[in-house]
């Protein structure tokens, strides 16, 4: 990607990302409020799995998008 070029983020990604970050923030705030040390390790592992899954699905869908529609015949 050339420097200075703006790439728009997929809107669907934001629909997932914003609530996930709000839940993570709420998780930390609530547990601190009740005096329990939040498990940052568990949160970090969950975030890595979540974002890794999104990344993997995105790559998988890009590979499959070129062959989409080739398996179906048009109705006469």
Residue 25 lies in a domain: no
Question: Do the domain assignments include residue 59?
Answer: yes
Distance (Å, whole) CA 66 – CA 68: 6
Per the CB < 8 A criterion, the answer to whether 7 and 1 are in contact is: yes
Q: In this predicted model, which residue has the larger pLDDT, 29 or 74?
A: 29
| Contact (Cβ atoms closer than 8 angstroms) between residue 54 and residue 16 | yes
* Position 67 pLDDT exceeds 80: no
In a domain, 55, yes or no: yes
Q: Does the pLDDT at position 65 exceed 70?
A: no
On whether residue 56 sits in a domain, the answer given is yes
Q: Mean pLDDT, to the nearest integer, of 13-32?
A: 84
**pTM for the complete prediction?**
0.42
**Per-residue tokens: 18:** 């914003």
Asked if the structure places residue 18 within a domain, the reply is no
Given this model, what pLDDT does residue 72 score?
A: 56
For residue 75, pLDDT beyond 60: no
**pLDDT (tens digit, 9 = 90+) per residue, 47-58?**
889 888 888 887
Range of the domain at 49: 39-64
- Total number of domains constituting the chain: 1
**6 in a domain, yes or no?**
no
């Amino acid at each position: 990607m050339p420097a200075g070029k703006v790439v728009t983020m997929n809107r669907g990604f934001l629909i997932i990302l914003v609530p996930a970050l709000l839940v993570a923030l709420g998780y930390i705030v609530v547990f601190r409020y009740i005096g329990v040390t939040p498990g940052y390790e568990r949160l970090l592992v969950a975030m890595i799995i979540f974002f890794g899954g999104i990344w993997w699905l995105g790559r998988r869908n890009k590979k499959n998008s070129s062959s989409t529609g080739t398996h179906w015949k048009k109705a006469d």
